[in-house]
Amino acid sequence: MRKLHTGWSRTLGMIGTLAVPVAAFAQETETLTKDNVIVGTMNIDFRTRTELDTSGDYKAGSPKIGVKDEYKFDIIVADTTQFTGTITRQPNIFTKTLQRSKQSAQLGFDVSLTVMNPKDLKQKKVVGKWVGTVPIDTASGAYQLAGGKAQQSALRIAVDAMGKASAFTDEFAGRLMGKAEKKEGLAAYTYKRVVGKKTVEVKVSKSDPMRFDNIVLGKGPAEVYPRTTVNGRLDYDYETGNWYTDGIRFTYNLNGKEYEDIVTGSIKWVEDPNRESNGKGYYDFNLRFNEEKSRTASGESAAFENMSDEDAFFAVDNSIPCMTGMISYVDTFGGDGDLPTSSQVAFNLNANQLTKAQIMNFFKLWMICIGPTNDE
157 or 26: which leads in pLDDT: 157
pLDDT-derived band at 301 (thresholds 50, 70, 90) equals low
Question: Of 349, 342, 374, 353, which is closest to residue 363 (Cα–Cα)?
Answer: 349
Instruction: Please answer whether residues 165 and 358 qualify as being in contact, where contact means their C-beta atoms are separated by less than 8 angstroms.
Output: no
Is residue 348 domain-resident? yes
203 or 1: which leads in pLDDT: 203
Is residue 342 domain-resident? yes
Count of all residues that appear for the chain in the document: 376
Is residue 338 domain-resident? yes
Domain count for the chain: 1
- For the segment 306-364, what is each residue's pLDDT rounded down to a tens digit? 677 677 777 777 888 999 999 999 999 986 668 899 999 999 999 999 999 999 999 99
Mean pLDDT of the chain: 86
Which amino acid is it at 283? Answer: Y
- For the segment 79-106, what is each residue's pLDDT rounded down to a tens digit? 999 999 999 999 999 999 888 999 999 9
Question: Distance between CA 206 and CA 228 in Å, rounded?
Answer: 31
> At a CB cut-off of 8 Å and minimum separation 6, what does 224 contact?
18, 24, 25, 27, 28, 254, 356, 357
Asked whether residue 214 carries a pLDDT value surpassing 90, the answer given is: yes
Is residue 5 domain-resident? no
**How many other CB atoms sit within 10 Å of the CB of residue 187?**
10
pLDDT-derived band at 140 (thresholds 50, 70, 90) equals confident
Query: How many Å is the maximal CA-CA distance in the chain?
Result: 67
pLDDT-derived band at 118 (thresholds 50, 70, 90) equals confident
DSSP 314: H
Give the range of the structural domain holding residue 318, as residue numbers without chain letter.
10-374
Instruction: Please answer whether residues 349 and 374 qualify as being in contact, where contact means their C-beta atoms are separated by less than 8 angstroms.
Output: no
Is residue 303 domain-resident? yes
- For the segment 192-211, what is each residue's pLDDT rounded down to a tens digit? 777 766 777 888 877 778 89
Is residue 164 domain-resident? yes
Is residue 241 domain-resident? yes
Is residue 3 domain-resident? no
328 or 16: which leads in pLDDT: 328
193 or 157: which leads in pLDDT: 157
